[in-house]
Amino acid sequence: MIIAANWKTYVESTARAKKLLASAKRLAVHAKQDVVLAPPAPFLGMLAAGNRSKVAFAVQDVSTETGGAHTGAVTAAAAREAGATHAIVGHSERRAAGDDNATVALKLQHILAQGMVPILCIGEHTRDDQARYLTFLREEIASAFGPLSQKERATIIIAYEPIWAIGKTAADSISPNDLTEMILYIRKALAEFLLGENVATARVLYGGSVEPGNARELAEGSGIDGFLVGHAATDVASFTALVKAVSTR
């Protein structure tokens, strides 16, 4: 299991960032899961410097550029140098800001070129009776995986985040049964692009209103390999409770 904590821009002070990291390090010592933290870019180097814990670090996004006169951009190479071993790409908030499938595919290639593990986010906006949203998901996967080699494809972690479920309470989020069906569909779609044992070992996370109260229920029997957690990951008590809930599954 992987628990990836996307701090987004909820964390804006060094003191809070260090407090969250200290808590994550304590959890990681005994947790059955791998813990990956994705702090805001300005904190990445500071937190990752000299890290010898089980905690890994991810950059929240990378630029489509690889260097040069691009003010404000965070390149994949710079993120790797700062200590990131993982990189989130295609998050719904970045897609809402303008990243289309082609942009996500380009960023993904830059991440892989730097030897980082991509966490590729996919997810439908809404659901319809004709199940067109399934085609939407497959297209997100196909556009990202299509240009890559088998070796590159095998390193990608998928994070399924249905956009309609984000920001809701646990009670109004996706049901365990629906999540199980979606994970089966995603694995079926991945089988078109992965060969042999890579199909069975592909890692699929869930993100979308993940809280301590629903994490264990969503994890049991759904076929997921962990969670991409947003706001709940920026509160020590909440994140601790979530990790412990999944650890006892």
Q: Where are the beta strands (DSSP E) in the chain?
A: 2-6, 34-38, 56-59, 86-89, 117-122, 157-160, 203-206, 226-229
Which one from 91, 110, 124, 140 is the annotated catalytic residue? 91
What's the rounded Cα separation, in Å, for the pair 195 and 1? 22
CA distances from 22 to 35, 41, 53 (A): 12, 18, 10
Q: Rounded CA gap, 39 and 24, in Å?
A: 12
Instruction: Give the torsion sign (CA, 106, 157, 59, 56).
Output: negative
91 is catalytic: yes
Locate 181 and state its tokens.
């069906």
- In angstroms, the CA 210 to CA 217 distance is 11
Q: Which of 86, 110, 140, 161 is catalytic?
A: 161
152 flagged as catalytic? no
Catalytic residue positions?
A: 91, 161
